[in-house]
Chains A and B, each alone.
Chain A
Amino acid sequence: MAGSTRGGPGANALYVLQGNIPPRAPPLRRRRLIDLLAGNLFDGWRASLLTIATLLLIALVAPPLLRFLVFDAVWSAPDGAACRAPGAGACWAFIWRKLPYFTYGSYPLDQRWRVDVTLAMGAVLIVWLLWLNAPRRNLAALLFFGAYPIIAFLLLHGAPFIGLPRVASDLWGGIFVSLLVATVGMVVSLPFGVLLALGRRSSLPALSLACAGFIELVRGVPIITVLFMANTMLPLFVPENLAPDRLLRPLIGVALFASAYMAEVVRGGLQAIPNGQFEGALALGLGRWQMQRLVILPQALRAVIPGVVNNFIALFKDTTLVAVVGIFDFLRTVDSARLDPVWAGPTIAATGYAFAAMFYFVFCFAMSRYSLFVERRFSHGR
């Protein structure tokens, strides 16, 4: 383009564009399967070697696994005889037969509809709450955090004055207890975690020290210790007739434990908020709580969604530990059902644990996907 500077009064410029450059479409990016394979799986001898090794490993592991879980599995049987046959795979008949026990534990047969109603109501409210475009979500929040715990307690525990006989918590068990412990842990840990995090960052030394002390104390001991302490020490603090229910004790323990971890996740989010956000809010005349509620926490919590969900997933799996203080959570019911002599057999334990693994995976994976979805939804304008 040397010619473009020829002649005229602008002749001393080094370069002047003549006309303009119209936009063109980008070059085609080829995304065919064969290119993908060549570009990723067989890109050089090292990648090829790894690919082949991985394929060999899959070829080694997948067939016996599929044979056990699907092809040789016993899908229906009246008792364990068919499952004890040589070469039989997973005994899904056992899971099917024991599913009521896995779901309700020893909850009286004729009262199990109460658990069903509680679970169904909880499911509806949670879907309503988590579905970001749903109408009246604040009503859902009010119902879920306000009314639902009371209704669930009356339904599950019983209320003789409205004709629901009492069901002692020793009879509770199975999936519904696991979900109960996890839900209480999550629902309590988030607000308490936020309060502890704000407290720890407070400029009041006594408050800050108390919150930091609680967090460090609870984080510094294993959850099993917390559960044992909740089980044996909580009754010592209160008069004997007020001693908390044996299921309530681990619930409190789990909630305390989860809150301490949540506090540190939330504090991480709070630390990431630039000082200007605090100053912008204060200069507008917002009070300290208004500032936290309207400006700081919405940003901080969005920033820590992955950490919060990570905690929830860990908490969900940690609920299996309440078994050590005698609560029949889902895993414990699987563990005790496999000892049933009617079903006893070489594949029963493996089947039970495979089922438990699938159950936990489905819930944890769902939480993980939902958090990714929420993160994407909130990533506007950045």
Chain B
Amino acid sequence: MASNMNEPGRAAIEMIGVNKWYGAYHALRDVNLTVMAGERIVVCGPSGSGKSTLIRCVNRLEAHESGDIVVEGVTLTDDLRHIHEVRREVGMVFQHFNLFPHLTILENCTLAPIHVLKMEPRDAEAVAMHYLGKVHISDQADKYPGQLSGGQQQRAAIARALCMNPKIMLFDEPTSALDPEMVKEVLETMVQLAREGMTMVCVTHEMGFARQVADRVIFMDAGAIVEINRPEDFFSAPRHPRARQFLGEIL
């Protein structure tokens, strides 16, 4: 990764007083969060606590209803140009991979670079092969997603997101849909990415991963951020009672 995205002290994501409702349900409640460039954030919390909603607001897969979200200096509004600008800078990895089943792995990786960044197909393929090599599936490039294992599919999805050369990567429970023996290979890819200085926001319950790479752990409950802590402190001595209860249940 280029080092310029790692300038210290620059905010990559700023969320100020963000609120969101699903119908009458208050899904995000007064969320305030600043993610610095190069910072690794792990978001955890019980299911339904708003973790996914939080990161999906960052690239506007969900629209927040009040407050401000500024991503790489761009304020997210209904303005489609701003939304596209943000999505170009933000890569996302989903729980269910969301690879395009009708395209080969290579085509999955080159689609957006060719059509969004207007890269020459040959250049896009070179970039794609570079990242597929990084996640160790160059040999699967010409296969279709359905022919790969879950772990390989998730690594392909990570490579696909990286091909857009994003400044920020969002991970929405990337290992939750995987068989246990495949979790490790995906986590290793994410650790490698973290070491290279990528700004990352990961919704995950992988506590080993959180300990290893996270700068801060954010614990959410009922749509609100209830605790922000350093991982070593969060796991050994959580401050908020609901965090203590949650950790007691999953560990």
Contact = CB atoms under 8 A, between A and B. Distances in A.
Nearest to A303: B102
A285 interface: yes
Given A283-B90, A299-B100, 4 more contacts: A276-B96, A283-B87, A285-B88, A298-B102
Contacts of B143: 381
Interface stretch (B42-50, B109-117, B191-199, B237-245): B109-117
B92 interface: yes
B101 interface: yes
B212 interface: no
B164 A284 contact: yes
A282 B100 contact: no
Q: Which 9 A-B pairs have the closest CB atoms?
A: A381-B144, A280-B98, A381-B146, A284-B112, A276-B98, A283-B92, A285-B87, A285-B116, A285-B88
B144 A283 contact: no
Given A283-B61, A284-B161, A286-B112, A277 B87 contact: no
Interface in B91-130: 91-92, 94, 96-102, 111-112, 115-116
Interface string B172-188: 00000000000000000
B101 A299 contact: yes
B61 A279 contact: yes
A302 interface: yes
Contacts of A302: 102
Given A294-B115, A302-B102, A382-B101, A284 B87 contact: yes
B176 to A, nearest CB: 14
A381 B111 contact: no
B10 interface: no
A287 interface: yes
A90 B145 CA distance: 57
A277 B112 contact: no
B91, B99, B111, B147: most-surrounded residue (chain A CB, <10 A): B111
Contacts of A294: 111, 115
A382 B147 CA distance: 7
B145 A284 contact: no
A295 interface: yes
Interface of A: 274, 276-277, 279-287, 290, 294-295, 298-299, 302, 378, 380-382
Given A283-B59, A283-B87, A381 B145 contact: yes
A378 B102 CA distance: 8
B160 interface: yes
B26 interface: no
A276 B84 CA distance: 18
A287 B143 CA distance: 26
Contacts of B115: 286, 290, 294
B61 A285 contact: no
A280 B94 contact: yes
Contacts of B98: 276-277, 279-280, 283
A381 B147 contact: yes
Contacts of A274: 96
B116 A286 contact: yes
B128 to A, nearest CB: 13
Contact of A280 (B84, B100, B164): B100
Nearest to A380: B144
Contacts of A381: 101, 143-147
Contacts of A280: 94, 98-100
Nearest to B109: A284
Contacts of B97: 276
Interface string B69-90: 0000000000000001001101
Given A277-B100, A294-B111, A282 B87 contact: yes
11 contacts: A276-B94, A276-B96, A279-B98, A280-B99, A283-B90, A283-B92, A283-B161, A284-B112, A285-B116, A295-B111, A299-B102
A174 to B, nearest CB: 41
Contacts of A286: 111-112, 115-116
Interface string B126-143: 000000000000000001
B216 to A, nearest CB: 24
Contact of B160 (A277, A284, A298, A378): A284
Contacts of B61: 279, 282-283
A291 B152 CA distance: 24
A381 B147 CA distance: 5
A248 B231 CA distance: 73
A287 B87 CA distance: 10
B84 A285 contact: yes
Contacts of B100: 277, 280-281, 295, 299
A290 B87 CA distance: 14
Contacts of B116: 284-287, 290
A299 B101 CA distance: 8
A262 to B, nearest CB: 20
A380 B144 CA distance: 7
Contacts of A298: 102
Contacts of B111: 284, 286, 294-295
A279 B164 contact: no
Nearest to B144: A381
Given A286-B115, A381-B143, A279 B94 contact: yes
